[in-house]
A and B are shown apart, each in its own frame.
Chain A
Amino acid sequence: GENVEQHPSTLSVQEGDSAVIKCTYSDSASNYFPWYKQELGKGPQLIIDIRSNVGEKKDQRIAVTLNKTAKHFSLHITETQPEDSAVYFCAASMILSGSARQLTFGSGTQLTVLP
């Protein structure tokens, strides 16, 4: 099955600085790569995603890049704010039977933005 590795496990940045989280995946059948943000006591929430036919996607202060050859993808957050503090999970997804998708998560990165 799919295996997703995520680094770093913890990341502290000063407010206004950038944060980068990196992931690798193992199965070339994966073709959809979402990023989820999980705040304390809540379920994960999708913040951005990228499909395998795209190399980069940006949404305001958040961007994702994908290198299919190397099986790497990354999350970039610019101009970080205290409300960005949370646990971030990368994931890799592939189609199973029919239209059902299988989603495998990384181990998470605790991001702390220091005021």
Chain B
Amino acid sequence: EAGVAQSPRYKIIEKRQSVAFWCNPISGHATLYWYQQILGQGPKLLIQFQNNGVVDDSQLPKDRFSAERLKGVDSTLKIQPAKLEDSAVYLCASSSRQNTGELFFGEGSRLTVL
């Protein structure tokens, strides 16, 4: 079974530029998560989708971050304009319809903002 796919793996941009990350979850997984992991810290939830509806986006900085999950499958996370403090690894994860609790993570997209 293929795992969670993310791209790009690495991205370097200047502050005030924009960037987009893509995630393809495990087939059949209803719930998709985007986490931000700053170096030396635990993952922090940005947004959680159940199918193509938003369940929780309370920690998403909505003035600069946006995310969508079209047709309940792939998802895109966008940052515009980027700030220095957005430098982090952006992790996508998915979990099954049965919601056993286990999250399956992708390898992440590392963003460096200069």
Q: CB within 8 Å of A: which residues of B? A: 4, 31, 33, 35, 40-45, 48, 50, 55-56, 58, 91, 93, 95, 99, 101-103, 105-108
Q: Determine how close the nearest CB of chain A comes to the CB of B84; give it in whole angstroms.
A: 21
- Is A105 among interface residues, defined by CB-CB distance under 8 A? yes
Name the one of A4, A34, A101 contacting B99, with C-beta atoms under 8 angstroms: A101
Number of A-B residue pairs, CB cutoff 8 Å, is 63
Interface membership of A41, Cβ < 8 A: yes
Closest B residue by C-beta to A103? B103
Interface residue A43 (Cβ < 8 Å from any Cβ of B): yes
The reply to whether B103 and A96 contact each other, CB–CB distance below 8 Å, is: no
Residues of B within 8 A of A105 (CB): 35, 42-44
Q: Is the CB of A34 within 8 A of B106?
A: no
Q: Are B105 and A44 in contact (CB under 8 A)?
A: yes
Kindly state the separation between the CA atoms of A99 and B51 in the bound complex, as whole angstroms: 12
Q: Which residue of A lies closest to B103 (CB)?
A: A103
Q: Which residues on the B side are within 8 Å of A102 (C-beta)?
A: 45, 48, 56
B105-A89 in contact (CB<8A): no
Contacts of A106 in B (CB 8 A): 42
